[in-house]
Structures are given as C-alpha cells and as structure tokens.
C-alpha cells in the first residue's frame, strides 16, 4: 500500500515511512545518551578554606561521583580553587572557574557560594557545606531554590540553640559564655545572634569575641584571659578552622569547656560538638551533580537539610579540664572519645 504526496506526487511506501519515523524518534534520546557518555564533565570546586595537600576537592565528593559512574580523567575532571580564609579572593577565584568553562561549581562555605552566584547566573552551583542558604539569600527557599543554586544547606542558626543547650548541660555552672566567630561573615553572624537569643532564654551572659583576621585571635585570647569565661562556643568557618588548633589549645590550657560544630574538631582535642557529618554532605552534593548532568535544572531540585546530626564528646579532654560529663549527656552521644 502507498500514499501520495500532494505537492510532489512521490509515492512513499507506508512501511518505509513508518520505519523512518520510528528511527527519527529513537535517534534523539539515543544521541543524547551517547553524548552524555562521551562528554568529559568539568567540575569546579570553590572553597573559602585552605588548599589541601593534594590540591583536589574533598575525597567523599569524588568517591560518590565515581560510584555514580564518573571516572576521573575519563569522563570527569576537577578544577579546585581555595581562598585560604581570605574572602576577598573568592570573586577572582570564582571568575577563574567560569573562565575555565566548568560545567558546574560545587561550593564549600557561604562566602564561596555567594561569590560563585555573583559571578555566574547560568552555570549550576551545588552547595555542599553551606549553612542557612535561605537565610543569607543564596536560595529563595528549600522547596523552591530559584535561579542556578541548590544543594545541601545546614540549619546552622537553629542548631546554635541546641549546641548551647548541650554545652550548659556539660558545664551547668557556666554563667558567662564566650562566643568566637568571624564577624565578617554574614552567616556566622546569624549563628552568633542565635546563640545570644538562646543565652537569654537560659539566663546566661554572652561574651562576644568577633574576629576578622588571624591577628584578632590574640586579641580574643587576651580578652578571655582578662575576663575568663565559664565556657566557650566556637562558630566554624574557614577563618576559625584555620586557627582551630590555637583555640583548642587555649581552651585546654585555661581549662575552659568548649562547644564546637563538627566532630573532627573534637577528634583534634576539642571537648564536644554537635553537627552534621561533612562527608555525608559531600556525598549528597554528588547526587545533585549527577542529576544536573543528567538534565535536571537547579531551580527544579529542592535544597535539603542534612538527614542527621551527631553529638560527639571527648572524655580525655573532659578529664584534662577537670570536668565530669553527666551520664545523661553521655547516653545521648553518638560518639564518645576516650
């Protein structure tokens, strides 16, 4: 059986016509799949922290992407930039990544995410270790991120109150708590203000110690030496992380119980922490990268909170401080270091 074209009068065999139509329909998705498999994706990584010795993005991120089928130097390459706690370098580093024509940028830290967002509105940006993205304006909301930014964002402001609760439970006689934070970082200042609110609820006084550069830590230590606080709360960002050993050592020498935000600080000798597992955050960020590479748009991917938070206590440090951790708190701990 045949059909006739009204314009040309050419006879076309129906079976050939339907066959060519089916091939055309199938060709587009097959071509897209083939292109995705053959493409080498360029992933930028931007952090406000210190450059690691290997000059590579965090291993959990790369491992998770490898498990999803992305093999380094075969179908994915990484281009990392680190600001070494110098926030003014971030816009230039973000511009470098854009100039290198990366397909996506993964960010660690609110200032890094903000610099990336200000530099490009078209390249997808995935948040990995960023607090309160909605509160500082990186996304519109968790459900509807909007624009080119999405990913994993910690509820750091709300967590500050919980951290203060644990600290006062460990040191019930604490009446004055020093708070050390980067006063140049809007997200860190939000956390500090939340600690202030929580302190008022618990009828304890806050000793504010904002820092902006490494030399400011000596000033903060001098203030605590002159007016010794009963406890210390360290808000974590790139600047305080780079100076964490100084803070941990000062707290030990002066026998000041201290709360930190991440367990690796407790493993380094800090007393206690309550927060998400950063490795888990990077693995979750990898799933966003994969979905975007497979065609999803950031604005269509709701941002998410970490699924779990961990309480870690270092009993060796507690002993050095002459502090007895209540059994009720130890029972709630996810990890106890002895």
My answer on whether 139 and 223 are in the same domain is no
Residue 280 has pLDDT above 90, yes or no: yes
The per-residue pLDDT for range 112-147, each reduced to its tens digit, is 999 999 999 999 999 999 989 998 999 999 999 999
The per-residue pLDDT for range 35-76, each reduced to its tens digit, is 455 799 999 999 999 999 999 999 999 999 999 999 998 999
Q: Which two tokens stand for residue 73?
A: 């130097």
My answer on whether 73 and 215 are in the same domain is no
Euclidean distance between CA atoms 293 and 70, whole angstroms: 11
Is the Cβ–Cβ distance between 130 and 68 less than 8 Å?
Answer: no
201 found inside a domain: yes
pLDDT of amino acid 160: 87
238 found inside a domain: yes
Between 83 and 29, name the one with better pLDDT: 83
Burial class of residue 89 (count of CB atoms within 10 Å of its CB; 0-12, 13-18, 19+): middle
Question: What is the domain-level CATH number for residue 175?
Answer: 3.40.50.2300
My answer on whether 15 and 90 are in the same domain is no
Other C-beta atoms lying within 10 Å of the C-beta of residue 291: 17
Euclidean distance between CA atoms 174 and 204, whole angstroms: 7
My answer on whether 314 and 196 are in the same domain is yes
305 found inside a domain: no
pTM for this structure?
Answer: 0.85
Query: Half-sphere exposure (CA, 13 Å, Cβ side) for 181?
Result: 25
45 found inside a domain: yes
Euclidean distance between CA atoms 311 and 255, whole angstroms: 21
Other C-beta atoms lying within 10 Å of the C-beta of residue 56: 14
Query: Half-sphere exposure (CA, 13 Å, Cβ side) for 54?
Result: 5
140 found inside a domain: yes
My answer on whether 196 and 246 are in the same domain is yes
DSSP 3-state assignment of 48? coil
Provide the domain count of the chain.
3
My answer on whether 14 and 51 are in the same domain is no
Residue 19 has pLDDT above 90, yes or no: no
Q: Using alpha carbons, list the distances in angstroms from residue 215 to 50, 111, 183, 303.
A: 17, 21, 14, 36
Domain residues for the domain of 78 are: 39-155+277-300
What DSSP character marks residue 50?
Answer: P
Average pLDDT over residues 1-20: 45
My answer on whether 204 and 319 are in the same domain is yes
Burial class of residue 304 (count of CB atoms within 10 Å of its CB; 0-12, 13-18, 19+): middle
My answer on whether 209 and 329 are in the same domain is yes
179 found inside a domain: yes
My answer on whether 27 and 67 are in the same domain is no
Q: Which parts of the chain fold into alpha helices (H)?
A: 14-38, 59-67, 90-99, 110-119, 156-170, 186-201, 216-226, 238-242, 244-253, 263-267, 278-293, 315-321, 327-332
My answer on whether 333 and 287 are in the same domain is no
My answer on whether 125 and 237 are in the same domain is no
231 found inside a domain: yes
Residue 233 has pLDDT above 80, yes or no: yes
Residue 223 has pLDDT above 70, yes or no: yes
Split at pLDDT 50, 70, 90, the class of 200 is very high
Average pLDDT over residues 26-38: 49
Q: What is the CA angle 231-196-211, rounded to 5?
A: 70
Split at pLDDT 50, 70, 90, the class of 184 is very high
DSSP 3-state assignment of 302? coil
My answer on whether 187 and 293 are in the same domain is no
pLDDT of amino acid 34: 46
pLDDT of amino acid 13: 52
């Amino acid at each position: 059986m045949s059909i006739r074209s009204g314009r040309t009068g050419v006879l076309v065999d129906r079976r050939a016509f339907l066959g060519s139509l089916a091939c055309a329909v199938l060709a587009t998705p097959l071509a897209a799949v083939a292109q995705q498999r053959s493409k080498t994706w360029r992933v930028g990584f931007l952090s406000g922290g210190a450059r690691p010795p290997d000059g590579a993005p965090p291993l959990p991120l790369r491992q998770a992407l490898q498990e999803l089928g992305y093999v380094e130097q075969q179908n994915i390459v990484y281009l990392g930039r680190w600001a070494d706690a110098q926030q003014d370098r971030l816009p230039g580093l973000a511009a470098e990544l854009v100039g290198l024509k990366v397909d996506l940028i993964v960010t660690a830290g609110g200032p890094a995410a903000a610099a990336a967002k200000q530099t490009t509105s078209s390249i997808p940006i995935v948040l990995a270790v960023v607090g309160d993205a909605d509160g500082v304006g990186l996304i519109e909301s968790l459900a509807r991120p909007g624009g080119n930014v999405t990913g994993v964002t910690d509820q750091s402001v709300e967590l500050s109150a919980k951290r203060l609760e644990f600290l006062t439970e460990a040191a019930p006689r604490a009446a004055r708590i020093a708070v050390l934070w980067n006063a140049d970082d809007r997200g860190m200042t939000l956390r500090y203000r939340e600690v202030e609110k929580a302190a008022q609820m618990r009828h304890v006084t806050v000793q504010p110690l904002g820092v902006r550069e490494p030399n400011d830590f000596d000033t903060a230590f001098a203030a605590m030496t002159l007016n010794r606080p009963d406890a210390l709360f360290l808000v974590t960002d790139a600047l305080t992380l780079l100076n964490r050993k100084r803070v941990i050592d000062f707290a030990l020498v002066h026998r000041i119980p201290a709360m930190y935000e991440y367990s690796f600080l407790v493993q380094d000798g800090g007393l206690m922490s309550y927060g998400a597992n950063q490795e888990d955050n990077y693995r979750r960020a990898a799933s966003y990268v994969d979905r975007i590479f497979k065609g999803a748009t950031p604005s269509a991917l709701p941002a998410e909170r970490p699924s779990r938070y961990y309480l870690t206590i270092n009993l060796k440090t507690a002993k050095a401080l002459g502090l007895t951790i209540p059994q009720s708190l130890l029972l709630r701990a996810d990890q106890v270091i002895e």
